[in-house]
Amino acid sequence: MDIRKRMDELINLINKYNDAYYQKNESLISDLAFDQLLSELQKLEQENPLFVLNDSPTQRVGGTITKQFKSVTHRFPMLSLGNTYNETDLKEFDSRVRKALGDEKYEYICELKFDGVALSFWYENGKLIKGITRGDGIRGDDITNNVKTIKSIPLSIKDGILPVEFELRGEGFMPNHIFEQINHERSLSGEPLLANPRNSASGTFKMQDSAVVAKRNLDCYIYAYLGYDNLFQTHEESLIKLFDLGFPISQTWEKCSDIESVLGYIEKWSLKRNDLPLNTDGIVIKINDYGQQERLGFTAKSPRWAISFKYPSEIAKTEILSISYQVGRTGNITPVANLNPVYLAGTMIKRASIHNANEMTRLDLHEGDMVFIEKGGEIIPKITGVDMSNRNPRKSIFVFPTNCPDCNSELVRVEGEANHYCMNDLFCPTQIKGKIEHFIQRKALNIENLGVETIDLLFEKSIIKDVADLYKLTTLDFIGLDGFQSKSIQNILSSIEKSKSVPFRKVLFGLGIRHVGATIAEKLVIEFKSIHNLRAASYDELIAVPEIGDRIALSIISFFSKTDHIDLINRLGQSKVQLSEENSELEIESTRLEGKSFVISGVFQNFDRDGLRDKIILNGGKVVSSISSKLDYLIAGDNMGPSKLEKANQLSIKIITEEEFLNLL
Ligand code: IVH
């Protein structure tokens, strides 16, 4: 058969099934049969590269690697929206509109405000030619290859009315069920969990390998048409036509003839929005008529013809049943509240983090208290207060333990830190298991095929007692253990063997020395080259290294002062694990924060403090410990010290949230 004809036939079939699935929710073919068509087309394209079309459906499975995304100037700036939080502000917006339009009749289109990543799509001659991120609103990154993996976005359209060139704007997102599925898989393999669907989407859109992006099943809703013609008179017309043409337009929008019906829309969606496949944090209200939009115009930052209304962050009230104290791998103790399960923002909440003893004191938690819990975009909700009207005066206050809940050794509170620590790092079982899990993770020794459960099992059976014992494992150690076939044992042993070639910087990070994150480990390796030199380094030599301060230096010295640690290092060395590295250089992520200094304060959702510090350094910024007038930013987490906040305010230092920091990147 004519190859080209068969390729066309395959493309038509695949597009037909795709459209039915994504536009009409109809499955006309089994997944298996669909994949077979797609692989047949892929094979033909590989064999006949000259016949490959750039809107071929195979583009959706990715395969291209982008080393560095090109920066593109937006044809029209990507602005943001003004926010309102209550009825009064919204009515004021409506009065402004009425006044500006001189009492002319007008209508609104209400849409949900999708919580994802703003994207711009350029079409030329009916084909998608570019997908761009918002960036700073003026210039964004060209992520076309990644955008093409969104199955609901047409790569080409056959239609007589759309102009040769037009642009669409929309919100790219990771559907909640995909986010939960990825996190489930990550928890099984011991990888750190993704913080929330929005960050996961924005991280995924910036991945270099589009084949990985394709596997993450990102999706998108289009919410604006920008043309150079006057094709549509109203926003409504554009939404209807684009939907007809197969573009993903969420069918949640409504036309409202006055502000009262806008309020009705807000009310209608306040709970129903939790049933949608993605998070929404409010609604967007837009003037329907394009002519009126033009007359209302823009301020420097946002249109005068649109505004958003943000739903209050959701709060639930429930009973606190008990507090558990979790032991981290460095011995840090985190109080976690066990709650009477309650439904909040689409999920059943059973636990909430209380961060540390200070926070427990601040909340003054008593047994049986009814507590308010709040959830932003994060996975773990937090307790924000206690309903005092419900307190039973006979119930006693929760007291932070004096001893480790696991090994019973006395807890210590390090001067100047909010955390309590179990100092028994050599014998506390939870700490040891945590250290082994830390050692095998991808960023460290990257020992695949060895999950948390296997480590727990090997530790409980006393087959391993620290990371050096991993290198002594043989097939015999697995005999009599449930669930291990010879193939899986071989896989584990060969991953362990492979880890012997992992560079020293990752091994040093894997050792889990308190306050030595991945970047600090890298800096230490660049400076000292080997574990032998690092061990011999004096306090003064350590603090002479950029970014190494008192806290890190003392932690390193304390680590090497323990004979068990020296013994561990010797045994790793005997097993040929890399303990030195010549020619080391720092792997920089970007220079976006070059010349900028940061103070970090409080507790964060996406990073621990070392991780946040690493992120700043890897992007060219500097972390300093105290606030001065030269400081550029204070990154404020939860529970930050009031004195820092006051000082920053006095000196008019820019105070940013964790989210704003991520936006800087
Ligand atoms: S219209 C001039 N409609 O909200 C801006 N934006 O602050 C016009 N967003 O990052 C934007 N859902 O990506 C519009 N239905 C919707 C939206 C929406 C989410 C995002 C948008 C932008 C932010 C604007």
CA 24 to centroid of ligand 1, rounded, Å: 25
CATH superfamily of 597-664: BRCT domain (3.40.50.10190)
Q: What is the pLDDT of residues 522-553, one digit of tens each?
A: 889 999 999 999 999 999 999 998 778 888 99
Which of 223, 226, 236, 253 most suits a substitution to test ligand 1, by most atoms within 8 Å of the C-beta? 223
Closest CA to 227 of 113, 124, 73: 124
Task: State how far the alpha carbon of 381 is from the alpha carbons of 19, 85, 576, in Å.
Answer: 38, 22, 44
Q: What confidence tier does 483 reach under pLDDT thresholds 50, 70, 90? A: confident
Classified as helix, coil or strand, 91 is: helix
Question: How does pLDDT run across 226-236, given as a tens digit for each residue?
Answer: 987 889 999 99
What confidence tens digit (pLDDT) does each residue in 310-368 have? Answer: 888 778 899 999 999 999 888 989 999 999 988 776 667 889 988 888 889 889 999 99
Q: Which residues pair with 334 in a beta bridge?
A: 326
Query: Is the pLDDT reported for residue 378 higher than 60?
Result: no
Q: What is the pLDDT of residue 345?
A: 67
Which CATH code for domain 72-308?
A: 3.30.470.30
Distance from CA of residue 195 to its chain's centroid? 4
User: Sorting pLDDT into bands at 50, 70 and 90, what band is 59?
Assistant: confident
CATH placement of domain 3-52: 1.10.287.610
pLDDT band, very low/low/confident/very high, at 519 (cuts 50, 70, 90): confident
**Is residue 380's pLDDT more than 80?**
no
Residue 346: phi and psi, rounded to 5, are 90, -5
3-state secondary structure of 227: strand
Ligand 1-lining residues (CB < 6 angstroms): 79-81, 111, 113-114, 118, 171, 223-224, 284, 302-303, 306
Longest dimension (CA), the chain: 86
Q: Residue 308 C-alpha to ligand 1 middle, in angstroms?
A: 8
Give yes or no for residue 119 having a pLDDT over 90: yes
Count of beta carbons in the 10 Å neighbourhood of residue 68: 8
Measured CA angle at 107 (ends 103, 108), to 5 deg: 125
Q: Which of 201, 253, 196 is nearest to 222 (CA)?
A: 253
Tell me the three state secondary structure of residue 304. Answer: coil
Reply yes or no on whether 310 is catalytic.
no
If we measure between CA atoms, which residue out of 106, 154, 152 comes closest to residue 126? Answer: 154
Q: Tens of pLDDT along 588-640?
A: 778 889 889 999 887 777 777 777 887 888 888 888 878 888 899 999 887 67
Strand 332-344 relative to strand 117-124, pairing: unpaired
- Residue range 645-655: mean pLDDT, rounded: 85
Bridge pairing between strands 117-124 and 165-173: antiparallel
Provide the CB-side half-sphere exposure for 287 (13 A, CA): 25
Strand partners, 287: 108
CATH superfamily of 429-574: 5' to 3' exonuclease, C-terminal subdomain (1.10.150.20)
pLDDT at 308 over 90: yes
- What are the structural domain ranges in the chain? 3-52, 72-308, 315-413, 429-574, 597-664
Q: Is the pLDDT of residue 641 over 90?
A: no
Take atom 21 of ligand 1 and give the residue whose Cα is closest: 118
**Mean pLDDT of the chain, nearest integer:** 89
Pocket test for ligand 1, best of 110, 171, 222, 279 (most atoms within 8 A of CB): 171
Relative to the CA of 83, which ligand 1 atom is closest? 7
Closest-CA residue, ligand 1 atom 2, reads: 79
Compute, in angstroms, the gap from residue 113 CA to the centroid of ligand 1. Answer: 6
What one-letter code names the amino acid at 218? Answer: L
> What is the Rg, in whole angstroms, of the alpha carbon atoms belonging to the chain?
28
CATH number belonging to the domain at 315-413, selected among 2.60.40.10, 3.20.20.140, 3.50.50.60, 2.40.50.140: 2.40.50.140
